[in-house]
Amino acid sequence: MNQADFPKILGFCCRWCSYAGADLAGSMRLQYPPAIRIMMVPCTGRVDILHLLKAFELGFDAVFVSGCHIGDCHYLAGNIRTVKRVAKLKKDLAAMGIEPERLEMFHVASGEGPKFATVCREMFARAQKLGPNPVKREARAAWLAKQPDAEIAA
């Protein structure tokens, strides 16, 4: 497994708040891991469960959705729907044998650049702790073989 390929993290960010927060983090020159790939969406309410599943299928080790704070959605209730979708998918991921910790929902406003950088570092740390996505069988097996704790489930 090439170290440059691990971990891969995808962040779905709302155009109005979280993407602006990411932009602010960059403007402030705040450091966060380069493994984070950001996808701007008009509203987190447009992020469907299928989009999240596709990210895991494509081999992303962790996925997060970052939107407006509850009550501040520019499209009224998009972020509330997404909170419910993420909670449901976390249960489904567990049933599929994928750790639910690989998926998370965050709320970052446009003026919270430092919080966005913290979110990115948190997801990076989670992905490193959990190892490669179980969909990437060969990389996962190689990673598990190197772990001192042999109790980790494949």
Contacts of 82 (CB under 8 A, 6+ apart): 44, 45, 47, 65, 67, 105
Ordered structural domains, the chain, with CATH: 3-146 (3.40.50)
**Which of 29-38, 89-98, 104-113, 142-151 is the least confident region?**
142-151
- The predicted-structure confidence for 54-97, as pLDDT tens digits, reads as follows 999 999 999 999 999 999 999 999 999 999 999 999 999 999 99
pTM comes to 0.91
